Structure 1
Amino acid sequence: MVSSKKYDFLIVGAGLYGAVFAHEAKKRGKTCLVVDKREHIGGNTFCKKIEDINVHAYGAHIFHTNDKKIWDYVNDFVPFNRYTNSPVANHKGSLYNLPFNMNTFYQLWGTKTPAEAKSIIDEQSKKYQKKQPQNLEEQALSLVGEDIYYKLIKGYTEKQWGRKVTELPAFIIKRLPLRFTFDNNYFNDSFQGIPIGGYNELSGGLLDGIDVQLGVNYFKDKVALDAMAHKTVFTGKIDEYYNYEFGKLEYRGLRFDHEILAIENYQGNAVINYTEADIPYTRILEHKHFEFGQQKKTVITKEYPLEASTELEPYYPINDEKNNNRYLQYKNKASKDLVLFGGRLAEYKYYDMHQVIGAALSKTKKLFDN
């Protein structure tokens, strides 16, 4: 009997997980239809060209990994530049290098040696190490002391989570990396960079030759879409897929305000964090610096954290005990389903880009090569 289904796979979501899955399936002779509710591919990695600058429309995406195979994999589609993430923190007009390193300690205290810096941190933190931390504030103070905590952690964290630090669980900050070297490289990974020409080059390469339909609300036409393929791969919110049967999973959201400025260089760095609680945005991005741009104008983006809702795009899962237990109910139900679930929203997990790609490669290898 000849099947009436046109595709082997319907893939819901044209972000990195869906694009990698589709590419790997196509390599093995499978047919795929990729649908996405947005009007573009690439998910949150999408770049919008403004004033000839690749603007990261959904916040900064800096690719970094220790996995050479994944680094080589993405570079097969587009060469990556040598961008190194070296953010700066602004607290009441004073600038501090991130992550916390010898440059930061010099800016805070004028210390010039690791021993001097360690002595101050030990002196400030030891008084908070006498009891088990009951919240994030107590945990952070026991790790780094008052100066780093109050200037560079407290306000930023309260904005990011929308809650007082004393209301946040201690486990959110299990450790705070302190570097006793003059190294402003935020990531420790061996490979780091930005695709030359923007992330659309990567997404486009992955989805080359694959049927893609944009502006498609999967849930409005679910029965007809599922009927087009032998199997569905779902990369959206797992709670939405099951119509919130066990309750809604909680996320933090973001709002992005993009602005074109008629100057060549606004802040001299791609990422500057604003750590004061009374400044409503967490950071300002200047996108041209991701690709060492020399354009006559510049584009900046202010990031405002907010509570996510059903209507707003979810960004950061709130992986507390309540939400994780709720997710496990969905995961258990999904394990009995014929649908394949993968990616940040379907797995209710904060994935970096290399982890999303790795998860998709692992899934397709297991599916097709075993």
Structure 2
Amino acid sequence: MAKYDYLIVGSGLFGATFAHIAHKRGKKCLVIEKRYHLGGNIYCEEIKGINVHKYGAHIFHTSDKLIWDFVNSIVPFNRYTNSPVAMAPNGKLYNLPFNMNTFYQMWGVRTPKEAQIKLNEQRQEVLERMRENNIVEPRNLEEQALMLIGKDIYEQLIKDYTEKQWGRPCNQLPAFIIRRLPVRMTYDNNYFNDIYQGIPIGGYNKLTEGLLDGIEVKLNTDFFENRDKWESVADKIIFTGKIDEFYNYCFGKLEYRTVRFQTEVLDEPNFQGNAVVNYTTKQVPFTRIIEHKHFESFGNSVYDNPHTVISREYSTEWMDGMEPFYPVNDTKNQVIYEKYQKLAKEDQNIIFGGRLAEYKYYDMAPIISNVFNLIESLCQNNHKK
């Protein structure tokens, strides 16, 4: 007889949120985590009194008040606003996302009307080329970016950065990757359009620990090292790891990009004046530098701590033994994933959720929304029985 209602494999945001809600509804849950810490990729490591985002920058943002209220009921969030800047190949700094500040810095235009005229001029070349070849929709990231923002910004701020990040030419990457980048005709450097945005006060570990409060957790525990045992301890399994690994790579391995971090403690209080600075030239091997204290220190409070911690991010192709970060959602990999997805739908006692299990890049708020919907679906199914 199963000891638990749910075995949750992985303590990242999907697994921790599911465990929290199921536990609140009277279900007995066990969370197993192969790493030495909770929280998956939102884990923070404290260095010199600074919460360092060990697996890259995570900024919570949403327009859904229900989700915002939910996370704030676990730990209050601060007012951090994501406003990255980019160091371009021409040696100049530009504001991101693309907005009137960017257009002024790039072209010297001052009004939305002037910016729109310049953008239309820049877009015309790619539109004419597409018409000549009877292309209705952009076929790849390069065409999408040129149609979205024009040649100058594409070459200075997008092309090299994207090719470093994905390890592939822009004309071989799917167009959808670039579609979510905002283009604004206002002087607004806020990267996100969402109403709510911030970082948990005290770091993301506070959120994870709050979600898993009162729930049995086993760290340093790999599901695959004792699979028969773990498959027998619960009525259902919530699996948040790699779906291809779960099925023993029977259709082949899915591809990922991963990130290597070079983290340094500096004996100065303020290295770059911003949390995120992108380096968009191929001459610089890393994609960006994160200065972690700016996620939680504002204004001159950054000088309260005489130290700072920075992380340079190097994007590389994933190999066994590395942490998989970004699914490579090209046609070849999608065909493989759909085969695994078909198997998953036939498994009645296993539920796959999250970035690795669904082979899809997710922001944090949609992960929580997916858990809400999953719990509701499970409740409805139980009522029908």
- TM-score band by shorter chain is over 0.9
> AA paired with 1:202?
L
Task: Write the distance in 2 (CA, Å) between the matches of 1:185 and 1:25.
Answer: 35
Structure 1 residues 2-21: aligned runs within 5 Å: 3=1, 5-21=2-18
1:345 aligns with 2:345: no
1:223 aligns with 2:223: no
Task: Write the distance in 2 (CA, Å) between the matches of 1:168 and 1:71.
Answer: 33
Structure 2 stretches lacking a partner, 5+ long: none
Task: Write the distance in 1 (CA, Å) between the matches of 2:44 and 2:160.
Answer: 29
User: Hey, what does 1:300 align to over in structure 2?
Assistant: 310
User: Hey, what does 1:123 align to over in structure 2?
Assistant: 121
Quickly say closer, same or farther: Cα 1:135–1:28, change in 2 above 3 A.
closer
Task: Write the distance in 2 (CA, Å) between the matches of 1:21 and 1:155.
Answer: 39
User: Hey, what does 1:206 align to over in structure 2?
Assistant: 211
The superposition leaves residues 126-164 of structure 1 with CA deviations (integer Å, 9 ceiling, x where unpaired) of 021011345432332233222101100111011011012
Higher helix fraction (1 or 2): 2
Which residue of the other structure, out of 181, 184, 189, is the alignment partner of 2:189? 184
User: Hey, what does 1:275 align to over in structure 2?
Assistant: 280
Shift of 1:329: 0.9
User: Hey, what does 2:328 align to over in structure 1?
Assistant: 318
Which residue of the other structure, out of 292, 312, 316, is the alignment partner of 1:287? 292
The superposition leaves residues 293-330 of structure 1 with CA deviations (integer Å, 9 ceiling, x where unpaired) of 43110000011100012221111111112211211111
Task: Write the distance in 2 (CA, Å) between the matches of 1:23 and 1:177.
Answer: 34
Task: Write the distance in 1 (CA, Å) between the matches of 2:364 and 2:173.
Answer: 26
Point out the more displaced range, 6-15 or 38-47: 6-15
Task: Write the distance in 1 (CA, Å) between the matches of 2:199 and 2:176.
Answer: 31
Alignment check: 8 A CA contact 1:79 1:196 kept: yes
1:86 aligns with 2:97: no
Structure 1 stretches lacking a partner, 5+ long: none
Task: Write the distance in 2 (CA, Å) between the matches of 1:81 and 1:176.
Answer: 24
Alignment check: 8 A CA contact 2:278 2:288 kept: yes
Shift of 1:176: 5.0
1:76 aligns with 2:73: yes
Alignment check: 8 A CA contact 2:97 2:181 kept: no
Task: Write the distance in 1 (CA, Å) between the matches of 2:185 and 2:55.
Answer: 33
How many residue pairs get aligned? The number is 367
Quickly say closer, same or farther: Cα 1:200–1:175, change in 2 above 3 A.
closer
User: Hey, what does 1:159 align to over in structure 2?
Assistant: 164
The superposition leaves residues 174-225 of structure 1 with CA deviations (integer Å, 9 ceiling, x where unpaired) of 4753211000000000000000000000000000011100011110111112
User: Hey, what does 1:36 align to over in structure 2?
Assistant: 33
The superposition leaves residues 258-288 of structure 1 with CA deviations (integer Å, 9 ceiling, x where unpaired) of 1000000000000000000121111100000
TM-score (norm 2): 0.92
Shift of 1:91: 1.1
Point out the more displaced range, 35-44 or 292-301: 292-301
Quickly say closer, same or farther: Cα 1:217–1:91, change in 2 above 3 A.
same
User: Hey, what does 2:374 align to over in structure 1?
Assistant: 363
Point out the more displaced range, 183-192 or 118-127: 118-127
User: Hey, what does 1:333 align to over in structure 2?
Assistant: 343
Point out the more displaced range, 124-133 or 290-299: 124-133
Point out the more displaced range, 360-369 or 185-194: 360-369
Task: Write the distance in 1 (CA, Å) between the matches of 2:180 and 2:372.
Answer: 30
Secondary structure of 1:79's match? coil
Which residue of the other structure, out of 264, 268, 272, is the alignment partner of 2:269? 264
Secondary structure of 1:76's match? helix
Among the aligned pairs, what percent are the same residue? 60
TM-score (norm 1): 0.96
Quickly say closer, same or farther: Cα 1:61–1:339, change in 2 above 3 A.
same
Alignment check: 8 A CA contact 1:83 1:192 kept: yes
The superposition leaves residues 2-58 of structure 1 with CA deviations (integer Å, 9 ceiling, x where unpaired) of x3x322211100001111111111111111110011000000000000000000000
Quickly say closer, same or farther: Cα 1:52–1:232, change in 2 above 3 A.
same
Alignment check: 8 A CA contact 2:87 2:279 kept: yes
Quickly say closer, same or farther: Cα 1:60–1:122, change in 2 above 3 A.
same
Task: Write the distance in 2 (CA, Å) between the matches of 1:275 and 1:58.
Answer: 21
Secondary structure of 2:74's match? coil
> AA paired with 2:358?
E
